[in-house]
Structure 1
Amino acid sequence: MSEKVTQDQINSVLWQAADTFRGKIDSSTYKDYILTMLFVKYISDSYKESVEQYTERYNGDERRIERALSRERFVLEENTTFDYLYERRTSPEIGETINKALSGIEENNSRKLRGVFRNIDFNSESVLGKARERNAILRSLLEDFNRLNLRPSVLGDEDIIGDAYQYMIGEFASGAGKKGGEFYTPGMASELLARLVKPEENDRIYDPTCGSGSLLIKVANKVPNKKVAIYGQERNGATHSLALMNMYLHGIDDAKLQWGDTLANPLHLEDEKLMKFQAIVANPPFSLDKWAMGFAGEGANDKKFKMDASLDPHRRFEWGVPPSSKGDYAFVQHMLYSLAENGRMATILPHGVLFRGASEGKIRKQIIDMNLLDAVIGLPEKLFYGTGIPACIMVFKKNRQRKDVLFIDASGEGNYEKGKNQNRMREQDIAKIVETYENYEIKDKYSYVATLDEIKENDYNLNIPRYVDTFEEEEPVDMEQVKGNIKDIKKELSEVEEQMEKYLEELGL
C-alpha cells in the first residue's frame, strides 16, 4: 500500500510549479496553466488506477475491462493521459501535443467536459513566449507535476484535491493584486454569505458572477448530502473553465455553469423567462463601468449609447436604469428578478449603493417599498483582493414577514483580524454576524433594527452610521488637572532653562 499524500505535499509541488512562471508572465494568467495541469494529472491518475483494478478483477478480459471503463467518471485514451505528455516533455511540439490531448479529453467526455479547455492555449506564443522559451516552461511544468501521485487510493480523502485547487486559486488571487478579486472571493466572506442564505436540500443555488466557483461550492457544502442544484454564469472564458474544473474536483458533476455576460445575455432560462432560484449569492464586480454595452448591438458607439429599460427582454430595469458607469444595481435587479418565492439572496457590494442618489436612489426606494430588503451588513476594510475599500452585504428576501430592516456594523476593531496586506474575518466574527442576523437583535454600537418610517425619514438613505451609532464618548476633561499639568510643565521648563544657563556659563559661551 503506497503512502498517503498530504495536503502540504500537493500544495508545495503546486507552488514550485508556479515558480516556473514567476517573473515571466502575470500570475492571473499562469494560474490557468497550473490549475489545468492539476486537473489533467488528477483525472489521468484516477483513470490509470481504474485500468489496473479492472485488469486484475477481469483477468485481462479486454471486453469486460472496456465496458467497465466506459462507466468511469472520465474516460481517457492513451494519447490524452498525463504520462503520454510527460514522455514527450522534450518534444519541440510539446505545446501543440498538450492542446491536442486537451481536445481529446473533451471529445471523449463531451457530455461533461465540452468546451472546458477552449480558453486555455498551451502553445500560445503571445503568453508563453517563443518556441524555445515556451518548451522550457512546459517541460519544467510536466516535470513538477510528475512528482505528484494523485491516485484516489493515495489521496485517501477525496477533498484533498479540491482543497489543493482551492488553495492555489486563493494564493493566485492574493498574488494577482487587483485582478485577484475578479475570480475569487476570500473563504471567510464566502462562508458568511453561505450561512446568511442558509441553503436547504433540493434548493437551486445561483451565482450570476461565479468567478472560479468557490463561493458556490461553499454554499453547496452547507447542505449535508449536497443534494442541491448549482447554477452559475461567468463572463471571463478562462475563469469559467477553472470554475468547471473546480466543481469536478469537489465531486460536483452536475453544476450548470454558463459562459457569457449575465446582464446582456442571461443564459439560465426556463420557457425563455429568467429561471428562479431559492438561494442566490454573489460578489459582482464593484461599480462596473459600461455594464450595459452588451445591449448596444454591433458597432455601437459607447460614447453615445444610452441604456434604456426597453432594451432588456427580461424587463429587469423597470425600477430604474443604473448609471452607465456603475453596474451595482444592474446585478442586484437581475438577482431580485431571478429570486423564487420565499427565496433568499446575499450579495457583496460597495457602500455607495447604500446612499448614492439619482437613478440608484430611485431603484433603492422601489426595493425598500416592495419590502425586499432584509439586512445591511457593514464589513471590515481590506477584506477583498484588489480593493482596499470596505464593502457591505445586502441581504434580500421574497415574501418577508417583517416590515423593518436590520443594520449591522461589523467594521469596527475587534470584529476582524488585521493582516499586513489583507484583513480577515475569524470564525467568531462570522458567528457574531450570523447570530445577530438570525435573532434580528439590537446590540449596542453593533446593530440596530430600523422601521420603514425611520428609513423614509432618512430619504431611503441606508448609510449604516445613520442607524448604528458606533461613536465612543470621550472621558470629560478635568480642567483643574489640566491647569495643574501646565503649571508642572512650566516649572520643569524653567528648571531646564536654568540648568542650560549654567552649562553655557561654564563653557564660556
Structure 2
Amino acid sequence: MKKDFSAKAYRNDLKEKGVFHTDSKLAEIIKSYGKERPKNVYDPTCGVGTLLSVFDEDIPKYGQELTEEYLKVAEKTLKNFTGEVGDTLKNPAFMDMKFDLIVANYPFSIKWEPDKEDVRFKDWVDVPPPSKADYAFIMHMIYLLADDGVCVSLNFPGILYRKAREGKIRKELVERGYVKKVIQVPSGYFEDTNIETTILVLSKEKFKGSIKFVNLKDDLERDVQLEEIAENDYNLSVSSYVQKEIEVEEIDPIELRETIRNKFIQHVDDNLGIELFLTETFEDKKARLDLLKFYKKVLEVVEKHILNLKEQIKKSLAD
C-alpha cells in the first residue's frame, strides 16, 4: 500500500512523533530571534524544511531528517540546501561543521538512548533521562554551534522547570552563560494544537549577567540577573519573572458601605411592597392579617438591633 505524504498526513505523522507542524508565522518569529544575515543555517530535525524556507536563497542551509520522504520534499522546495537522512541523536550528520545559526522545532519529550561517552554530552554534568530527549537536542545544537553563533529552538515549557537530571543540566546551561533569552509563546500559533510553547535563544558569546524573559502574549519583557535566577532554583519559566500587572480599582470603604446599605433598604422596601401589592390584588383578608404579622416580625428584628446598638453606644460613653 502506497504511503500518504499529503500535508494532512504529514502533520498527523508529526503529532505521533511528538512534533507539531510549524506554520510560516511561527517560522518567522523564530527567525526574528536569530541573526539577520547568518553565514549558514542548520535545522537538526528539518522535516519538509519549513523553518529553513524563511531564509534567503543565497544562505547555505543544512538539515537532517529521520524520514527520507520528508527530506526529499525539503530538497525539492529549498534552494542552497544540503540534507541528510538519519536519527540526529543516534547518527548525527554534519559533526565536522559549526553553524552560524541553528533553528529547531524538535520532537518534544520523546524517548531516546543516552550515551554518556558521546562527545556531545560527555562534558556536561549529566545526560538527559531516557524518557525525555529535549535536552539531548539542545546539547547537540550547542555542540554544533559556532563560538559566535546563535541557536533558536522551540521547546515544551516543561524543560524550564523540570527537576532531576534536567534540572542539573539547566543549571549548568545557565551558569555557562549560554541562555540569552526565554520567550513564552502563547497558544494558537500552531495549526494543529493550542498548547503554549517556549523559545530558547542560546549562544556561546560572553554572558552579560542577565537573561531576558519575554511574554509575547502581553508584550512584556524583563532582564533578570543571574542571582535572582539562582535563588529561584534555576527555574526559567517566564511567568516566574514576568507577569502582567493587574490594575486594582481603589475603593472608598465609607462610600461602599453607604451603597450597600442603600441597596439593602431598597431591597427590603421593594419586597415588602410586593407582599402588600399581592394581598391587595387578591383581596384576601386573611393574607392581609398574615402580612401584618410579618411586618411586625420585621419591625421586631429591627428594634432588637436598635436596642443592641444603643447599649453599645451607652457603654462606650461610660468608658
TM range (shorter): 0.7 to 0.9
Within 1, Cα distance between the matches of 2:107 and 2:278?
A: 64
Within 2, Cα distance between the matches of 1:483 and 1:264?
A: 73
Q: Contact 2:20 / 2:192 at 8 angstroms: preserved in 1? A: no
Query: Secondary structure in 1 aligned to 2:138?
Result: helix
Alignment partner of 1:276 is 2:98: yes
Query: Secondary structure in 2 aligned to 1:342?
Result: strand
- Pair 1:505–1:196, CA change in 2 (3 A): farther
Read off the aligned partner of 1:452 and give its amino acid letter: L
Unaligned runs of 5+ in 1: 1-24, 35-168, 293-306, 416-445
Quote how far apart the aligned CAs of 1:498 are.
4.7
Quote how far apart the aligned CAs of 1:182 are.
3.7
Look up the match of 2:132.
Answer: 326
Q: Contact 1:216 / 1:230 at 8 angstroms: preserved in 2? A: yes
Read off the aligned partner of 1:205 and give its amino acid letter: V
Look up the match of 1:257.
Answer: 83
Read off the aligned partner of 2:73 and give its amino acid letter: L
Read off the aligned partner of 1:284 and give its amino acid letter: Y
Read off the aligned partner of 2:248 and give its amino acid letter: E
Read off the aligned partner of 1:287 and give its amino acid letter: S
- Pair 1:482–1:199, CA change in 2 (3 A): same
Read off the aligned partner of 2:116 and give its amino acid letter: A
Look up the match of 1:245.
Answer: 76
Query: Secondary structure in 1 aligned to 2:131?
Result: coil
Within 1, Cα distance between the matches of 2:200 and 2:68?
A: 28
Q: Contact 2:11 / 2:20 at 8 angstroms: preserved in 1? A: no
Look up the match of 1:195.
Answer: 32
Query: Secondary structure in 2 aligned to 1:395?
Result: strand
Which of 1 and 2 has higher RCO (CA within 8 Å, sep 6+)? 2
- Choose the corresponding residue for 1:346, options 140, 144, 152: 152
Look up the match of 2:92.
Answer: 266
Quote how far apart the aligned CAs of 1:191 are.
0.1
Deviation digits for residues 63-108 of structure 1, max 9, x if unmatched?
A: xxxxxxxxxxxxxxxxxxxxxxxxxxxxxxxxxxxxxxxxxxxxxx
Alignment partner of 1:285 is 2:92: no
How many percent of aligned residue pairs carry the same amino acid? 32
Look up the match of 2:189.
Answer: 383
- Pair 1:356–1:227, CA change in 2 (3 A): same
Read off the aligned partner of 1:485 and give its amino acid letter: K
Deviation digits for residues 484-504 of structure 1, max 9, x if unmatched?
A: 334434444444455556667
- Pair 1:398–1:502, CA change in 2 (3 A): farther
Quick check: which one's strand share is greater?
2
Read off the aligned partner of 2:131 and give its amino acid letter: S
- Choose the corresponding residue for 2:63, options 223, 228, 232: 232
Within 2, Cα distance between the matches of 1:177 and 1:504?
A: 73
Within 2, Cα distance between the matches of 1:192 and 1:401?
A: 23
Within 1, Cα distance between the matches of 2:196 and 2:151?
A: 20
Read off the aligned partner of 2:98 and give its amino acid letter: K
Quote how far apart the aligned CAs of 1:337 are.
1.0
Within 1, Cα distance between the matches of 2:130 and 2:17?
A: 24
- Pair 1:368–1:374, CA change in 2 (3 A): same
Within 2, Cα distance between the matches of 1:449 and 1:501?
A: 71
Q: How do 1:121-160 and structure 2 match up within 5 A?
A: none
Alignment partner of 1:309 is 2:116: yes
Query: Secondary structure in 2 aligned to 1:269?
Result: coil
Within 2, Cα distance between the matches of 1:483 and 1:172?
A: 65
Alignment partner of 1:451 is 2:233: no
Q: How do 1:468-483 and structure 2 match up within 5 A?
A: 468-478=242-252, 479-480=256-257, 481-483=259-261
Query: Secondary structure in 2 aligned to 1:278?
Result: strand
Query: Secondary structure in 2 aligned to 1:347?
Result: strand
- Pair 1:323–1:496, CA change in 2 (3 A): farther
Look up the match of 1:337.
Answer: 143
Q: Contact 2:120 / 2:139 at 8 angstroms: preserved in 1? A: no
Structure 2 length normalisation: TM-score?
0.78
- Pair 1:265–1:474, CA change in 2 (3 A): same
Quick check: which one's helix share is greater?
1
- Pair 1:345–1:489, CA change in 2 (3 A): farther
Look up the match of 1:210.
Answer: 46
Q: Number of paired residues? A: 281
Deviation digits for residues 394-417 of structure 1, max 9, x if unmatched?
A: 1011213522110111134xx6xx
Q: How do 1:345-384 and structure 2 match up within 5 A?
A: 345-384=151-190
Within 2, Cα distance between the matches of 1:313 and 1:502?
A: 94
- Pair 1:486–1:210, CA change in 2 (3 A): farther
Within 1, Cα distance between the matches of 2:20 and 2:184?
A: 22
Q: Contact 1:317 / 1:333 at 8 angstroms: preserved in 2? A: no
Deviation digits for residues 301-331 of structure 1, max 9, x if unmatched?
A: xxxxxx3412x24445733211222221111
Within 2, Cα distance between the matches of 1:177 and 1:490?
A: 64
Read off the aligned partner of 2:93 and give its amino acid letter: L
Look up the match of 1:85.
Answer: none
CA RMSD of aligned residues (A): 3.0
State which structure, 1 or 2, has the greater radius of gyration over its C-alpha atoms: 2
Within 2, Cα distance between the matches of 1:176 and 1:447?
A: 35
Look up the match of 1:4.
Answer: none
Deviation digits for residues 111-164 of structure 1, max 9, x if unmatched?
A: xxxxxxxxxxxxxxxxxxxxxxxxxxxxxxxxxxxxxxxxxxxxxxxxxxxxxx
